[in-house]
Amino acid sequence: MIEISGLRKTYRSRKGSVVAVDGVDLSVGEGEVFGVLGRSGAGKSTLLRCVNMLERPDAGAVTVGGLELTRLGRRELRVARQGIGMIHQHFALLSSRTVAGNVAFALEVTGAPRAGRKARVAELLELVGLADRADAYPAQLSGGQKQRVGIARALAARPKVLLSDEATSALDPETTESILRLLLDLNRRLGLTILLITHEMNVVKRICTSAAIMRDGRFVESGRITELLRRPGSELARDLFPLDTAAPLDAAGVPLEAAMQGGARVEAGAPAVAGAEAGAGLQAGAGAGAGLQAGAEAGVGVQAGAEAGVGVQAGAEAGAGVLTSVGAPTSLDTAGARLPGGGEATTIVDITVSGPEADEPIIADLARRFAVDVRILGGSVETLAATRAGRWRIALPGTPEANREAVEYLRERGVTS
């Protein structure tokens, strides 16, 4: 539905030039909800404004619904924009018009026949849950209600694509949740393709099927959420499911952050060795071994420090998993550091759960099958759009070589690493 290739936009002034979008490629399928994450100044809003040509790109092509907008003239573009709705952080409602009047204004601008406007306004207000507020004025509305008016207005011309520019960033958490539920409902009922930009990870977790991280005008990572979760070293997966508490401790009892890359070996009572000299120091910020977020998700019970045969009590929601990385810290800060197992050789495994296998207790099966004490270092289970998914980090006693069969068992359950 949306295809962007080689998009570039530069802003120029007397003080110099700023490249806001630098060679971005993007593909959003019909009916997909795609989220673009990034900090302020990353180029997100400029990218979105280039999609409906409110900003003319300096280079690249933008195609929406099979129509290449970058080739259209002003008159043709005005017609094409009717198929693209847009909602903003700031509602920009007309204070002198009622709720119904604000929605009707969008129909007036597009030249909709006068005879059908009233019925269409009523239909739209029913759709966004404001049928009883048609005669209210913007000053009488809450922030969430104002955004619902903005959504109704954006849908007036029956667009197939909806662009969302930080639409929930000015709302409180409860109202944000209600707006996200509405957008997801509209996506399903109307078949809307939604491209949204946000700096809120919860927005991506709640409704997006695909996402990208944007930094300095470029995409540094993009893909379907379920695929990113299985990708070793994925920055987005790490942010979606942070494992950031109860990391391994050093000799002084201070938590250490571990870079979980590849199969490393930990000798009893000695620093980890993974192509690094002893005392080289842990590489921080790469997805540290984490502690349990106990009771954070309904329907999933995780017992930390589980004995053999006890792993994740899956209930009806979670369990089956996919191995995403195997290894141990790449280096250690000081001699005598304590890893899970009291300094003994340990194999660290990251497991991701999602999809139809979610009812299978993979960690409990692993413990029983190989008679191994599985320690759960951390994890969480959440709903991503309509899919339950989660991540756990577990520790197996012994080196990766000693745990080869257990690791292969996990791979057979759906590894992508």
Residue 8 lies in a domain: yes
pLDDT at 340 (0 to 100): 47
* Nearest in space to 349 (alpha carbons), one of 400, 405, 401: 400
> Is residue 120 assigned to a domain?
yes
Question: Are residues 366 and 221 part of one domain?
Answer: no
Q: Which of 316-330, 359-373, 384-398 has the lowest mean pLDDT?
A: 316-330
Average pLDDT over residues 124-136: 97
Q: What is the mean pLDDT of residues 187-211?
A: 93
Total domains in the fold of the chain: 2
Residue 251 within a domain: no
Per-residue confidence band for 400, with pLDDT thresholds at 50, 70 and 90:
confident
Question: What integer is the mean pLDDT of 279-308?
Answer: 34
Does pLDDT of 136 surpass 70?
A: yes
Task: Write down the mean pLDDT value for the chain.
Answer: 77
Short-list 308, 301, 307, CA closest to 367: 308
pLDDT tops 60 at residue 94 = yes
Locus of tokens 């507020």: 133
Residue 102 CA to residue 377 CA, distance in Å, equals 53
Q: Which CATH number characterizes residue 355's domain?
A: 3.30.70.260
**Confidence band of 343 (pLDDT split at 50, 70, 90):** low
Last residue of a domain, one of 236, 268, 290: 236
CA atoms within 13 A on the CB side of 156: 27
Q: Is the pLDDT of residue 123 over 70?
A: yes
What pLDDT, in 10s, does the model give residues 299-330? 333 333 333 333 333 332 333 333 334 443 33
Q: Are residues 231 and 351 in the same domain?
A: no
Indicate whether 79 and 226 sit together in one domain.
Answer: yes
Q: Tell me whether residue 336 is in a domain.
A: no
pLDDT of residue 18: 94
The per-residue pLDDT for 288 is 35
82-91, 298-307, 407-416: lowest mean pLDDT where? 298-307
The verdict on 381 and 232 lying in the same domain is no
pLDDT band for 388, please (50, 70, 90 cuts): confident
Beta strands 375-384 and 161-165, pairing class: unpaired
For residue 374, is it within any domain?
yes
Residue 228: what pLDDT? 82
- Domain end residue (candidates: 216, 236, 256): 236
Q: Specify the pLDDT at position 358.
A: 62
In a domain, 304, yes or no: no
Any domain includes 386: yes
Residue 126 has pLDDT above 70, yes or no: yes
> Are 232 and 351 contained in the same domain?
no
When pLDDT is averaged across residues 223-227 and rounded to a whole number, the result is 86
pLDDT of residue 407: 87
Which are the contacts of 171, defined by CB distance < 8 A and separation ≥ 6?
A: 143, 144, 147, 179
Q: Which domain holds residue 199?
A: 2-236
* pLDDT-derived band at 240, boundaries 50, 70, 90: confident
Q: Is the pLDDT of residue 253 over 60?
A: no
Residue 248 lies in a domain: no
**Which residues are within 8 A (CB) of 336 and not within 5 positions of it... i.e. 6 or more apart?**
250, 251, 269, 343
150 and 6 in one domain?
Answer: yes
Pick the residue with more confidence: 161 or 330? 161
Res 361: pLDDT: 83
Of the listed ranges 178-182, 205-209, 383-387, the least confidently predicted one is 383-387
- Among 236, 268, 292, give the residue marking a domain's end: 236
Residue 241's pLDDT is what?
74
Q: Categorize the per-residue pLDDT at 392 as very low, low, confident or very high, splitting at 50, 70 and 90.
A: confident
Q: What is the pLDDT of residue 414?
A: 62
The yes-or-no verdict on residue 251 having pLDDT over 80 is no
CA distance 111 to 172: 36
Taking residues 328-357, what's their average pLDDT?
56
For the ranges 156-165, 204-213, 356-365, 388-397, the lowest mean pLDDT is seen at 356-365
CATH number at residue 202: 3.40.50.300
pLDDT recorded at residue 229: 76
